[in-house]
Amino acid sequence: MPAARPVLDGDVRTDVVVIGAGQAGLSAAYALARTGVDFALLDSDAGPGGAWQHRWPSLRLDRAHRIAPLPGMDLPDADSAAPASEVVAGYFAEYERRFDLSVRRPVAVRAVHRTDDGFRLDTSAGEWTARGLVSATGTWTRPFWPAYPGRQLFGGRQLHAADYRGAEELMGQHVVVVGGGTSAVQQLIEISELTTTTWVTRREPVWRGSDFDADAGRAAVALVDRRVRAGLVPGSVVSATGLMETDAVRAARARGVLDRLPVFDRLTADGVASDATADHPARSLSTDVVLWATGFRPALEHLAPLHLRAPGGGIVLDGTRVVAEPRLHLVGYGPSASTIGANRAGPRAVRELLRTLADEDAAV
Ligand SMILES: Cc1cc2nc3c(=O)[nH]c(=O)nc-3n(C[C@H](O)[C@H](O)[C@H](O)COP(=O)(O)OP(=O)(O)OC[C@H]3O[C@@H](n4cnc5c(N)ncnc54)[C@H](O)[C@@H]3O)c2cc1C
């Protein structure tokens, strides 16, 4: 692990602060380190790896989607059966060391305020001020639990996909998996190999096959980009791309594991239930466990004092630049919320941010 730079107490002033040292923050910091600008990289986690360090141990490298390498350094050759959490955390640690990125951790940014010439950051390790900001805080710290009636009534176990550590601990129990995203499908398939499951989703899942090529990928990113430019919430990646049809998916379908049901209306003391509709009679199902694989929301609470939310619930961006606050860029949000998207967006955000700061200097 790279030597962490000591966290200083008291006021610290720098030109640019990058918040978050996941894929998005590291790609921005890599670009900043090449400019000679004074910057700080703050991260609330105790160790390297961003969200990857927390992903469930049974998520093997070959079962993750493609993980794009960070700019300037290839991913290591690793056993494809190794946990992605370990491989990526080790890779990030080596990256920080090689490019001397000196992440300050653990430093949680609690609130960002405007000042006359930039921003003041209230953090768990004192106050920082900066002229420009790159916020790259991902989504992992904000698991989304939808509100369903009866959640307090249910006597079984409820857990979120973020807390799932592997199927072994669920052996012998019936598990209802809620959610139509990639994590839901990956965890459902694993669990179904050891115990009985029921899959419920709000909408009929859309599967993508070999016809999902680079053009389709670009179209999906463009769709999210349009939403963000319009100030709407970016929406989930899967809502734009569909679910990937893999060998594991085909095998699970053949076992009947992917026969999905519409999501229930409420939880009961011992399970889940739905009222009768025109399409089906009233239903109820006993279960021991409800696994909420219901996704995550962007971790943006620290930006609340800036009042950036548009009426549509999102933050209006032009690329990564916040339209209402041009000295702030969001990387890993909306169209850049993938490893490949974050890689490209980090350096672009830095170029644009430094141009904005230089233009301000010239105007003085
Ligand atoms: C289960 C799952 C699997 C995925 N698999 C893939 C995949 O295979 N391929 C792919 O391309 N994408 C995948 N993604 C999308 C993935 O999240 C992104 O690709 C990418 O890893 C996210 O990087 P990031 O830097 O934006 O966020 P993160 O990796 O979450 O990094 C954000 C960092 O910011 C820190 N932070 C948060 N808030 C604060 C704060 N207030 N102050 C200071 N620090 C803070 C966090 O501690 C964290 O270290 C997956 C997502 C999920 C949920």
pTM (predicted TM-score)? 0.93
The pLDDT assigned to 63 comes to: 77
* DSSP H or E stretch at residue 14: strand 12-19
Phi, psi of 144 (to 5 degrees): -100, 120
Confirm or reject CATH 3.50.50.60 for domain 157-206+242-292, answering yes or no.
yes
DSSP of 288-301: SEEEE---B----G
Distance CA 53, CA 11 (A): 30
Which residue's alpha carbon is at the smallest distance from atom 2 of ligand 1? Answer: 183
261-262/325-330 β-pairing: unpaired
- Ligand 1 centroid to residue 260 C-alpha, Å: 28
End-to-end CA distance of the chain: 43
Q: Do domains 12-140+297-363 and 157-206+242-292 have the same CATH topology?
A: yes
Render pLDDT for 54-87 as a digit per residue (tens, 0 to 9).
Answer: 999 989 888 777 789 999 999 988 888 899 999 9
The pLDDT assigned to 305 comes to: 98
- Ligand 1 centroid to residue 338 C-alpha, Å: 8
Which residue's alpha carbon is at the smallest distance from atom 8 of ligand 1? Answer: 65
Per-residue pLDDT of the chain in tens (364 residues, 90 and over written 9): 444 444 455 568 999 999 999 999 999 999 999 999 999 999 999 999 999 999 999 898 887 777 899 999 999 888 888 999 999 999 999 999 999 999 999 999 999 999 999 999 999 999 999 999 999 999 999 999 999 999 999 999 999 999 999 999 999 999 999 999 999 999 999 999 999 999 999 999 989 876 677 787 888 888 899 999 999 999 876 677 789 888 899 999 999 999 999 999 999 999 999 999 888 889 999 999 999 999 999 999 999 999 999 999 999 999 999 999 999 999 999 999 988 889 999 999 999 999 999 998 888 7
- Ligand 1 centroid to residue 140 C-alpha, Å: 6
Q: Which residues line ligand 1 (CB under 6 A)?
A: 19-25, 42-45, 50-51, 55, 64-67, 108-109, 136-138, 140-141, 183, 296, 299, 302, 332, 337-340, 342
- Which CATH architecture group holds 12-140+297-363? 3-Layer(bba) Sandwich (3.50)
- Ligand 1 centroid to residue 24 C-alpha, Å: 8
Residue ranges per domain, the chain? 12-140+297-363, 157-206+242-292
